[in-house]
Chains A and B, each alone.
Chain A
Amino acid sequence: KNEVEQSPQNLTAQEGEFITINCSYSVGISALHWLQQHPGGGIVSLFMLSSGKKKHGRLIATINIQEKHSSLHITASHPRDSAVYICAVTGAGSYQLTFGKGTKLSVIP
């Protein structure tokens, strides 16, 4: 079974700061997902990666398959980025997600 570890668990940043959230996993995967969950509970899929790097607006996600590691970066952070960010992976031959415990981000004005 894949173990997904995220760090840090909690992160407080000043508005405008560059933020990095890390995710590592223990077993080879088919894809890695970065999800965002706001206090209301709904989940938004930010990225799905199987290699390399993806960028969407101020968000950048990278993955290193050899090192079994992914990072989510937020540039010019804003209070509206405050949320829980969850890393999840799908294993080879499966569509089921294994979730990390999430990183709670608070961006202070």
Chain B
Amino acid sequence: GAVVSQHPSRVICKSGTSVKIECRSLDFQATTMFWYRQFPKKSLMLMATSNEGSKATYEQGVEKDKFLINHASLTLSTLTVTSAHPEDSSFYICSARDLAGEAHEQYFGPGTRLTVT
């Protein structure tokens, strides 16, 4: 089946630094990728929709200057958390739509746990 990877799986950074998280579709092309955030014991919250070759669409309340998204190729989207603060600590998950697959099928990455100290 389709595989989505995320790197890193865990990252600890100091307050004020920036962290980049990568989401890759390993065996398919993805024109659209989604970035989610999950707080402990809560459901996933959509942050933004990433479209290859164009600007990401951010959900209401998500700061686009803080959470920079780049989708430069059909297999890679990156989320950069800029000037991270402890409240940005969370579990970040991406998903990707297979360009050649069923219309509503999405494949999820394993997630990245970010801790900001």
Cβ of A44 within 8 Å of any chain B Cβ, yes or no, is: yes
Main secondary structure of the interface of A (DSSP, over half): strand
Within 8 A of B (CB), among A22-43: 30-31, 33, 35, 40-43
A95-B32, A96-B49, A97-B34 given; A102·B106 CB < 8 A: no
State whether B102 touches A42 (Cβ < 8 A).
no
Interface centre among B32, B97, B109, B110 (most CB of A within 10 A): B110
State whether A41 touches B43 (Cβ < 8 A).
no
A43 to B109, CA, bound (A): 7
A86 to B110, CA, bound (A): 15
Q: How large is the interface on A (under 10, 10 to 19, 20 to 34, 35 or more residues)?
A: 20 to 34
State whether B108 touches A95 (Cβ < 8 A).
no
Cβ of A101 within 8 Å of any chain B Cβ, yes or no, is: yes
Q: Which residues of A contact B107 (CB under 8 A)?
A: 45
Tell me, rounded to whole Å, the shortest Cβ–Cβ distance linking B111 to chain A: 4
State whether B111 touches A43 (Cβ < 8 A).
yes
Q: Which of A30, A35, A96, A101 contacts B108 (CB 8 A)?
A: A35
Cβ of B64 within 8 Å of any chain A Cβ, yes or no, is: no
Q: Which residues of A contact B44 (CB under 8 A)?
A: 43, 86, 97, 99
Tell me, rounded to whole Å, the shortest Cβ–Cβ distance linking A33 to chain B: 7
State whether B108 touches A90 (Cβ < 8 A).
no
Q: Which residues of B contact A100 (CB under 8 A)?
A: 43
Cβ of A19 within 8 Å of any chain B Cβ, yes or no, is: no
State whether B43 touches A101 (Cβ < 8 A).
yes
Mask, B39-63, CB within 8 Å of A = 1, is 0001110100100000000000000
Query: Hey, which bits of chain A sit against chain B, CB under 8 A?
Result: 30-31, 33, 35, 40-45, 48, 50, 86, 90, 95-97, 99-102
Between-chain CB contacts (< 8 Å), 13 pairs: A40-B110, A41-B91, A41-B110, A43-B44, A43-B95, A43-B111, A45-B108, A86-B43, A95-B49, A95-B106, A96-B49, A97-B44, A101-B42
Query: Hey, which bits of chain B sit against chain A, CB under 8 A?
Result: 32, 34, 38, 42-44, 46, 49, 91, 93, 95, 97, 102-111, 113
Give the 5 A-B CB pairs with smallest separation, nearest first: A42-B110, A31-B104, A43-B108, A41-B111, A99-B43
